[in-house]
Amino acid sequence: MIKVILWDIDGTLLSFKLAERAAIRACFEKFGLGEITDGMLAEYSAINARYWKRLELGELTKQQVLRGRFEEFFAAYRLDTGCVDAFNAEYQVRLGETVVFNDNAKELVQRLRGKVKQYAVTNGTLVAQRGKLRNSGLDKLLDDVFISDVVGVEKPGKGFFDAVFAAIGHYEKDEILIVGDSLTSDIQGGNNAGILCCWYNPAGEPVPKTLRVDYDIRDLNELAEIIGLEG
């Protein structure tokens, strides 16, 4: 019986792509960098995803990710890299301003309250994640929040999950379910921690043979049936 859900935030409960696009557009306007086209946004998104994956693989530090993605992107479009640090700081704030739930997930979290414990587990920066949680209302709906900047270890590191388990109290591993969209962060992390893993996979991509995926879902509301929630 599942008693605990560990929710990923970006790309799972909340649409990261919409927040990312809004934040980049706002920052381009604030820093007077001109128009950012859809093609440029797509290029940045690809660069950003690649940097975060390298973080999850242990190849880069968080600071190398935050700075390096913008240095590469700015250089590709011959923009002034001198404002990278200020741009990134503003970007973290702006990321928390656009809140769009995937699959009406707020109603799902509300429905699950009191039936299972629910915690956020995220690698996002402290500024961005606190803004998202506050503006979405999730900070009041979830039982607690674990942000890697505070924990001191990134998902999928086992140390991240050890810190979570120490904080939430004792549960059997098969009573804890992580729900996330990232194979390299959430599912690999759940595998490392020995807990149940639910891959939020709306695109219906093939399940890799290299990872244990206990549940493969297209819509977050499928969790109600997985947990055995009636009505």
Residue 64 structure tokens: 């190398």
pLDDT in tens, 86-131: 999 999 999 999 999 999 999 999 999 999 999 999 998 999 999 9
> Does 199 lie in the same domain as 136?
yes
82 and 122 inside one domain: no
pLDDT in tens, 25-56: 999 999 999 999 999 999 999 999 999 999 98
Of the candidates 153, 186, 142, 225, the residue with the CA atom closest to the CA atom of residue 11: 186
Report the CATH number that the domain containing residue 77 is assigned in CATH: 1.10.150.240
Residues 149 and 203 in one domain: yes
Same domain, 113 and 223: yes
Strand 196-200 to strand 215-217: parallel, antiparallel, or no bridges (unpaired)? parallel
Q: Domain end: 25, 60, 95, which one? A: 95
Q: To which H or E segment does residue 147 belong?
A: strand 144-147
Do both 39 and 128 map to the same domain? no
Is pLDDT of 213 > 80?
yes
Give 160-163's long-range contacts (Cβ < 8 A, gap of 24+).
160/121, 160/189, 161/121, 161/189, 161/190, 161/192, 161/193, 161/195, 162/193
Tokens representing 8 are: 């990923």
Together in a domain, 79 and 123: no
Which H or E run contains 28?
helix 16-30
pLDDT, residue 230, reads: 61
34 lies in the same domain as 109: no
What is the C-alpha separation between 148 and 138, in angstroms, rounded?
17
Residue where a domain terminates, one of 95, 114, 144: 95
- 196: which strand partners? 177
> What is the span of the domain harbouring residue 137?
4-15+101-227
Tally of domains in the chain: 2
Q: Are residues 66 and 162 in the same domain?
A: no
8 catalytic per annotation: yes
The pLDDT value given to residue 228: 85
Same domain, 72 and 134: no
**CA-to-CA dists, residue 102 to 18, 55, 208, angstroms:** 11, 25, 23
Query: Which of 95, 128, 143 delimits the end of a domain?
Result: 95
- At which residue do the structure tokens 């969790």 appear? 223
Catalytic residue among 8, 10, 103, 186, which?
8
Do residues 136 and 57 share a domain?
A: no
Cα separation, 119 vs 112, whole angstroms: 12
Q: Which tens digits make up the pLDDT trace of 146-204? A: 999 999 999 999 999 999 999 999 999 999 999 999 999 999 999 999 999 999 999 99
- Same domain flag for 62 and 136: no
